[in-house]
Chains A and B, each alone.
Chain A
Amino acid sequence: DAEITQSPRHKITETGRQVTLACHQTWNHNNMFWYRQDLGHGLRLIHYSYGVQDTNKGEVSDGYSVSRSNTEDLPLTLESAASSQTSVYFCASSDQGSTDTQYFGPGTRLTVL
């Protein structure tokens, strides 16, 4: 069955370190998204991509970057982790329609000490 996976599921790192969170989908979806989830804020969009070599900033993109070298993967990189980036991160994908369903991965819980 097609699916979307994230790794690692849990990560503890130190302030200033570079961290990369992986997202892999097997639906062959063009659209991929990264969100962070924090209590009281719901899900906020970090970065998104509409296809290979395409990346765009979301509402909370500072301190994060993404790259899209193939259809299946959209890794999220924290260039220099900060305690404010402690959060749960979700990846999602959808087909290319503008109001198509987004399917979410299981999430990565990141703690920055």
Chain B
Amino acid sequence: GENVEQHPSTLSVQEGDSAVIKCTYSDSASNYFPWYKQELGKGPQLIIDIRSNVGEKKDQRIAVTLNKTAKHFSLHITETQPEDSAVYFCAASKTGGGNKLTFGTGTQQKVEL
């Protein structure tokens, strides 16, 4: 089955700096890669996703890049703000896989003032 590895497990960034979280996947058939943000005491919430037919997608301060050859994808957050402090999860799934997501182990990001 699919295996998703996520790094780093913890990340501390200064307010206003950029942050990058990286994930690798094992199943070359995976073609959908969402990123979820989980705030304390809440459920994960989708913040951005990318499908395998594109290499990059942006939404204001966040962006995701995908390298299908290397089987890795990354979340980029620019101009980090205190409200970006949360746990971030990457995930992967594939067409025909029944919408089942395989998650990475999460990154605890803390934005320092």
Contact = CB atoms under 8 A, between A and B. Distances in A.
Contacts of A100: 99
A106 B42 contact: yes
Contacts, number: 64
B31 A99 contact: yes
A58 B42 CA distance: 23
Interface stretch (B14-22, B44-52, B56-64, B78-86): B44-52
B103 interface: yes
A43 B101 CA distance: 9
How many chain B residues sit at the interface, stated as a range, is 20 to 34
A6 to B, nearest CB: 8
Interface of B: 1, 6, 31-32, 34, 36, 41-46, 49, 51, 89, 93-101, 103-106
B100 A48 contact: yes
A48 B103 contact: no
Interface of A: 31, 33, 35, 40-45, 48, 50, 56, 58-59, 90, 92, 94, 97-107
A103 to B, nearest CB: 8
A101 to B, nearest CB: 5
Contacts of B36: 104
A105 B41 CA distance: 11
Given A107-B42, A107-B43, A101 B49 contact: yes
Contacts of A101: 34, 46, 49
